Amino acid sequence: MKTPSKTVAAKPRAKTRRPAPKRAAPAARKSSNLPRALPIVEAALADMKAVDVRVIDVRGLSDVADYMVVASGTSDRHLRSVADRVVQMAKAAGQRPLGVEGQQQGEWVLVDLPDVMVHIMLPRTRELYQLEQLWDAPRKEPVAAPRPVKRRRPAATLS
């Protein structure tokens, strides 16, 4: 004859709270007020041997970006490679690109990073659009329009 086994009621497990994952503190900007992406872009362009690199400060002219970088490549394949390297190095540094345009066409590739807009063009395209002259134009104070002169009507004569 078998003896009945005792059944023990299972104790409810206490719910343990998992600690919230620690988030990385935002990286402090350098004291020079340069965006974090600008040195990354310059290093990527130098690494891939981009030609005629220009950095233009557009902080007072545009709300879209603080700096615009214009560079040339030697061929459409070189343009795509340079753009890929810029994106790769930016991602590695924690700066996700907001967008990349023009890789399929190959004459002008635009990489939009936070605070930095990178234009990589063929020399003939760069000469055609002349972005440097557009954004690097001397900044003049706006001239106030002259006030219109009010002319008096001649007095009506009674004849």
| Residue ranges making up the domain that contains 112 | 37-129
Neighbour count for residue 37 (Cβ, 10 Å): 26
Is residue 107 one of the residues assigned to a domain?
Answer: yes
Number of separate domains in the chain: 1
Contact 119, 131 (CB under 8 A): yes
pLDDT at 132: 85
The string of pLDDT tens digits covering residues 5-21 is 565 555 556 555 655 55
**Could you please report the per-residue DSSP string of 41-81?**
HHHHHHHTT-EEEEEEE-TTT-SS-SEEEEEE-SSHHHHHH
CATH assignment at residue 67: 3.30.460.10
Mapped onto helix, strand or coil, the DSSP state of residue 113 is strand
Residue 158 pLDDT: 66
Would residue 153 count as lying in a domain? Answer: no
pLDDT score at 127: 92
Is residue 63 domain-resident?
yes
The secondary structure element, H or E, covering residue 110 is strand 108-113
Position 30 scores a pLDDT of 40
Instruction: Name the pTM for this structure.
Output: 0.65
pLDDT digits (tens, 9 = 90+) for 52-78: 999 998 888 888 888 999 999 999 999
**Regions of the chain where pLDDT drops below 70:** 1-35, 137-151, 153-159
